[in-house]
Amino acid sequence: MNDVIVVGGGPTGMMLAAELRLWGVRAVVVEKDAEPTPVVRSLGLHVRSIELMDRRGLLDRFLEHGTAHPLGGFAGIPKPEPEGLDTAHGYVLGIPQTVTDRLLAERAAELGADIRRGGALAGLSQDGEGVTAELDDGRTLRARYLVGCDGGRSTVRRALGIGFPGEPSTNDTLLGEMEATAPVDEIVSVMTEVRKTNLRFAAGPVPDGGGRIRVVVPSETVAGDRTEPPAFDEFRRQLRVYAGTDFGVHAPSWLSRFGDATRLAERYRLGRVLLAGDAAHIHPPLGGQGLNLGVQDAVNLGWKLAAEVRGHAPAGLLDTYATERRPVAESVLDNTRAQSVLISTDPGAQAVRRLFAELMDFPEVNRYLVEKVTALGVRYDLGGGHPLVGTHLRDVPLKEGRLYERMHGGRGLLLDRTGALSAAGWEDRVDHIVDESGELGVAAVLVRPDGHVVWAGDDRNGLTERLEEWFGPAA
């Protein structure tokens, strides 16, 4: 029997499989597509995702293929980057989703995940011992747990009968890559002019794309069958409507569409089956938060599910996945709803946009919005009196290297400046590092594998209780 079946081989599923393998959990990834998709829906990683890649020793791989861009702005309202953000990575990393997909799949495979492509989930059943997954080719797989990372039309979520309330799409946007006969300078010039009044339009060269351009343009209608790609003729027509020219586009590499549907699963867990990523939440792509939200789901869930499988999870640990991550998704859904209003061309919405632009001149407002989109503002209510508890710990320099270099293994961490503390009994789950870091302003911190602080103090008071609460009983 496998330990965990991960349904869906996108960034959420592959990140989850990698996190599980760090703990020796037997993870099999089931992906319906025989080959990775060429469709580029996401174009970057936000700060919190960059931090988690650094914490797992993956960031150099991403930096090699990405481009750092400054932070700032909301709903396309340009503003300078706020000062003093609590991170060592104050930038957006521009990188196509196809590259992110490949790097995370390589990571999962390196760690020993069993990746099976070309087989779709047809159904599932569960009992007190595990979950049976039925594939469309007649095969069955058995595991102790199953996680649906299979997108907005999740087969797992539907098989469980979990509701997915929210709003359906009211407008669609076409997305694709193709060749064009018009010069790049002309395309960029036209795009710049059109975007003065319509932020749902974009056209420009694909980096390292061999002369191809990426086109984003409002669709004529809302699609009835979202699995069918749009017709290329519609791209040409809509380009002429919005740009006054079709730029001589031809030879499309791929065509797709996305809508503005906003939905949130009623629950993230039913028995031994859980949901993560778009299977649990969908929203408009404004602010580029979707992929990031899913990857962060995976990192929150991975170590908790591993603890359950390995038998050292404290009571209720796995349930904290939903109590922590569902409110984060609610917040993302709300801010993308707000951004949808702010980019509307309606006169009332434009008036709100102008007011918002004025408000963002206040540094506190600008900072708040940037922290919301980048997930820097996420803080879990974990109890405890110290201000650091519940926050995500930024990377800090140590006498020997830096903090994130010591967290590549995905374990908990007791960072101790005093040398008088101990994680004895939890050595198989928590690393104890005696080192100096004056930047923290506290003698010691206990950090979960996902980077969030669960204890901070100057002596052992409360430390044992927190070790038991988050990492289970001492060995």
**Amino acid in the structure at residue 107:** R
pLDDT in tens, 250-271: 999 999 999 899 999 999 999 9
Mean pLDDT of 17-22: 98
CB 242 within 8 A of CB 143: no
Average pLDDT taken over every residue of the chain = 94
pLDDT in tens, 124-181: 999 999 999 999 999 999 999 999 999 999 999 999 999 999 999 998 999 999 999 9
The dihedral of CA 216, 214, 334, 368: what is its sign? negative
For residue 209, pLDDT beyond 80: no
CB 166 within 8 A of CB 264: yes
CB 304 within 8 A of CB 454: no
With a pLDDT cut of 90, the percent of the chain lying above it is: 85
**Amino acid in the structure at residue 151:** G
**Residue indicated by tokens 């991960």:** 6
- C-alpha angle 327/330/331, rounded to 5°? 90
pLDDT in tens, 181-202: 999 999 999 999 999 989 999 9
DSSP assignments along 144-212, one per residue? EEEEE---TT-HHHHHHT----EE--S-EEEEEEEE-SS-HHHHHHHHHHHTTT-TT-EEEEPTTSTT-
CB 439 within 8 A of CB 397: yes
Structural domains in the chain, sorted by start: 2-166+263-374 (3.50.50.60), 172-257 (3.30.70.2450), 403-471 (3.40.30.120)
Report the C-alpha gap between 438 and 441 in whole angstroms: 6
CB 171 within 8 A of CB 219: yes
The predicted pLDDT at position 32 comes to: 95
Report the C-alpha gap between 270 and 265 in whole angstroms: 12
CB 146 within 8 A of CB 159: no
* Helix or strand (DSSP H, E) at 79: none
DSSP assignments along 49-77, one per residue? HHHHHHHTT-HHHHHHH-EEE----BTTB
pLDDT in tens, 418-475: 888 999 999 999 999 998 777 788 899 999 999 999 999 988 889 999 999 999 999 8
**Amino acid in the structure at residue 233:** D
Q: What is the SS3 assignment for 108?
A: helix
For residue 382, pLDDT beyond 80: yes
The predicted pLDDT at position 87 comes to: 94
pLDDT in tens, 27-53: 999 999 999 988 888 889 999 999 999
pTM of the predicted protein model: 0.95
